[in-house]
């Protein structure tokens, strides 16, 4: 009886845990996105004042539950000297969210360079990738088609993985639900696929 009840308890309450990295250049809006995500998906979370958020130095973390999935986010600093630390987290990650500042055309090639380096990592092969075209509230910002065109020669490196480019305004929350729900669907589906070669010991 105990076994039956504990099995039932686990079935109902136990969560499958997934690690999702939030990457992108500094000032892209990663921390704002994470705060907005926590506010939207955690019932009792009293979010920070989004206008008071300053750029990520080091690491911000956050956890949300969506159905039976628990997503643990690691928002890593995007400054050049911190980008070298990103790959230390790749082996643990089930999903990647890459945030682009759609208002910063000047740094778009820098963002693309960091993006290409990240997706070229063998360790991330097959890991679902959500690209957020953030700050869509700003007039005359780059649109999703503009960003897809700018990143078009990176497309072959994306390889066979789930990938979505999502317009987003982290500050107001537009596009956040769509992005997170897509990510949950992909990481859950991906975990049931055969292990990646690198995972086989």
Catalytic residues: 79
Nearer to ligand G3D, 124 or 176 (CB): 176
Nearer to ligand G3D, 28 or 119 (CB): 28
Closest contact distance (angstroms) between CB of 170 and ligand G3D is 4
* Spatial CA neighbour of 168 closest among 48, 22, 18, 17: 22
Closest contact distance (angstroms) between CB of 107 and ligand G3D is 12
Q: At what angle do helices 176-191 and 30-41 cross, to 10 degrees?
A: 80
3-state DSSP assignment of residue 91? helix
Chain position whose Cβ is nearest to ligand G3D: 29
Nearer to ligand G3D, 65 or 174 (CB): 174
Helices marked H in 42-106: 80-83
Closest contact distance (angstroms) between CB of 172 and ligand G3D is 7
Binding site for ligand G3D (CB under 6 A): 24, 26-32, 51, 53-56, 78, 134-135, 137-138, 169-171
Evaluate whether 100 touches 165 at the Cβ level (below 8 Å). no
Residue positions in the annotated binding site for Mg(2+)? 31, 56
Gap between the Cα atoms of 185 and 192, Å rounded: 12
């Amino acid at each position: 009886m105990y076994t039956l009840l504990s099995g039932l308890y686990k079935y109902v309450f136990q969560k499958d845990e997934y690690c999702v990295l939030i990457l992108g250049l500094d000032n892209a809006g990663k921390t704002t996105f994470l705060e907005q995500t926590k506010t939207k998906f955690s019932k009792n979370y009293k979010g920070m004042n989004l206008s008071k958020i300053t750029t990520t130095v080091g690491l911000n973390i956050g956890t949300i539950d969506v159905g039976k999935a628990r997503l643990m986010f690691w928002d890593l600093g995007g400054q050049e000297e911190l980008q070298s630390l990103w790959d230390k987290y790749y082996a643990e990650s089930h999903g990647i969210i890459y945030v682009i500042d759609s208002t910063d055309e000047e740094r778009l090639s820098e963002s693309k360079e960091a993006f290409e380096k990240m997706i070229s990592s063998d360790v991330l092969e097959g890991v679902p990738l959500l690209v957020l075209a953030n700050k869509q509230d700003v007039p005359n910002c780059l649109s999703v088609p503009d960003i897809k065109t700018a990143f078009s020669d990176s497309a072959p490196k994306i390889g066979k993985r789930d990938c979505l480019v999502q317009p987003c305004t982290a500050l107001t929350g537009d596009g956040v639900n769509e992005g997170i729900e897509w990510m949950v669907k992909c990481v859950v589906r991906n975990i049931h696929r055969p292990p990646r070669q690198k995972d086989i010991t």
